[in-house]
Amino acid sequence: MNMTHYMQLLADNQPWNLLIFMGIPIVLAETLAITELYILFTRKFDGFVYHLNRFAGTTVGLYFIGIIAYLMTTAVLPITKAGEWRTVIDVVAVSTYLIGGLPLIWIALQEFGFVNKSLDQMGKLKIHAICVALFLVFGHIAMVSGMLDPSLLGYKGADTHQMHGEQMQQMHMMHAGNSATQDNRIAVDFPAPMKEHILTNMRDHLQTISLIQEVMGKGQYDKAARLAEDRLGMNALKLHGAYENSKFMPKGMQEAGTAMHRNASKFAIEAQNTAATGDIKPALIALGNTTQACVACHAGYKVK
């Protein structure tokens, strides 16, 4: 499913991002809101609840200064520069999340005596309560729009294998630092001899792609077609013992394998057409689709 950057931020790097960007600020803000109600009701400007209210208000305000500074530099600016916002849903989600922090910062500033110095206790209480209310409104707009699927407004998910280096880097920044090297591939358990066999096939796949490029460059399109069909395409299935191997593969991996064989066979047909028409473009596109199937499987799976 496609998600907003808000949702992606919370879902990545489990459970740390969720704790840092949602858990901690929510606990502080709810403590602030609940104690605020108590104070509004009792007008008790001393005692435990009042001090807890002040503590929660100053802490969450300071906390949000950090969050806003961090997300502005690592997410908002790079995403804006790369033109990567996932429709207005995404913009609303991320901006209301950040805007929601501003009234909390205002509360902290008031608690520290930097603002509203001339107001009396009631005046300060009023500003305090308004700020809590504003935070609740913005925070909940962020939550709802953050959980919306941006494809509702036409966002088309970025295909990982079509991503440019720059975009990849910027996505990794969203992952809060340490997950740039995170390996999310599913490890598939094959019996040892089969594992050897699969990796040998793989090296043969790469060699075949390389040979195909070479003979295409020499204008030997029929030869390229034969290489593709025999060593990568539907004909190659038996050669590579694909049926035996596929019993151990999860469904998605089997599909990636089938997609590769199909695309290689399509390439074989296009390469034969090239031999007749001299137009090389459709063949190159078909070859690109074939290697994209390699990339797609590699992105999702590894051997145990």
- Name the residues that contact ligand HEC, by CB under 6 A: 199, 202-203, 205-206, 209, 232, 253, 256-257, 260, 290-291, 293-294, 297-298, 301-303
CB of 161 to ligand HEC, least distance (A): 12
CB of 265 to ligand HEC, least distance (A): 12
Distance CA 112, CA 107 (A): 9
**Cβ 178 vs Cβ 186: under 8 Å:** no
Residue placing its CB nearer to ligand HEC in the complex, 78 or 300: 300
Residue placing its CB nearer to ligand HEC in the complex, 104 or 227: 227
Residue placing its CB nearer to ligand HEC in the complex, 16 or 301: 301
Tokens of 182: 């995170």
Residue placing its CB nearer to ligand HEC in the complex, 130 or 186: 186
CB of 257 to ligand HEC, least distance (A): 4
Tokens of 304: 């145990």
Residues 6 or more apart in contact with residue 50 via CB below 8 angstroms: 35, 39, 44
Query: For residue 302, what are the β-bridge partners?
Result: 187
CB of 3 to ligand HEC, least distance (A): 26
CB of 199 to ligand HEC, least distance (A): 4
Residue placing its CB nearer to ligand HEC in the complex, 104 or 293: 293
Return the closest-CA partner of residue 61 out of 17, 121, 110: 110
Residues 6 or more apart in contact with residue 9 via CB below 8 angstroms: 17, 21, 71, 75, 174, 176
